[in-house]
Amino acid sequence: MPHPDERVEYELWTNSNDECSPRCGEQVAFVRSFRGHAQILERGGYARFTPHYITWYCPEAFRLTRQCQSQCINHGRYCAPDREEDFGEGYEGKQVVVENLRQLCVHRVANESGLPWAWWDFAMDYKLRCSMKEKKYSKACAEEVVASLGLSLEKVLACMGDPDADADNAVLSKEQEDQIGRGSRGDVTILPTLVINDVQYRGFIKVSSELSIILAYLLFRYQAFCPQHNEVTILELNN
């Protein structure tokens, strides 16, 4: 896994929806189990993590249909599927897009605040406190979680922009660009997908497997840069 510096850079393509399929349950379990490891790696400067969220766009000819208006924001530019496939029942796809956007902005604001690892706390707290199953998946609940972590709600809202505007959203447009494959990495089409130094892992992900890959890469780097310290460093991380 070639990379020009000592850090491991990795991405998790995920979803804020917690009732889409068994895959959603697997993503919740992964965030819960991996959070502590991820925060240690980032606090120590060993890794850099970036969350991502898949969206699709509605063709312009269909943007006035009920399907697009229910599942999309910004006039059809960014969409997520309706989990019930019933546009008059339960949560709409556009609510999922807005929450995905909020979580992207939480990560951006946390990074700007020097607390990039706070995304893991937000993602886990939101899943626990704002579950669809308990009918608490809402803006109000999300904003309570943001406030509880000491992050600036004003900055998060400014980052999100206006989901009703007939205009591009810079954050979500970047996500759609990043979904497209580059070099040896293919398009991101399956959730969850983990990308470690541009190597892509799709479908079911396990903490033990992904942590082993990251630690193996770190061990390789430290053997090259500071062989006298690598054993202690890696053992501390692994514990």
Residue 230 within a domain: no
Residue 98 within a domain: yes
* SS3 at position 49: strand
Dihedral sign from CA coordinates of 58, 63, 69, 75: positive
Residue 233's pLDDT is 41
Q: Which residues contact 201 (CB under 8 A, 6 or more apart)?
A: 193, 194, 195, 210
Residue 238 within a domain: no
Residue 152 within a domain: yes
Residue 1 within a domain: no
How many domains would you assign to the chain?
A: 1
The pTM assigned to this predicted structure is: 0.86
Range of the domain at 33: 8-225
pLDDT digits (tens, 9 = 90+) for 151-193: 999 999 999 999 999 999 999 999 999 999 887 788 998 888 8
Instruction: Read off the CATH number of the domain in which 198 is found.
Output: 3.40.30.10
Q: H-helix or E-strand containing 52?
A: strand 47-53
Residue 233 within a domain: no
Residue 235's pLDDT is 36
pLDDT digits (tens, 9 = 90+) for 42-53: 999 889 999 999
* Average pLDDT, consecutive stretches of 10 residues, N- to C-terminus, the chain (239 residues): 66 87 78 91 92 95 93 96 72 95 98 96 96 94 97 98 98 96 84 86 63 64 43 40
Residue 51 within a domain: yes
Residue 78 within a domain: yes
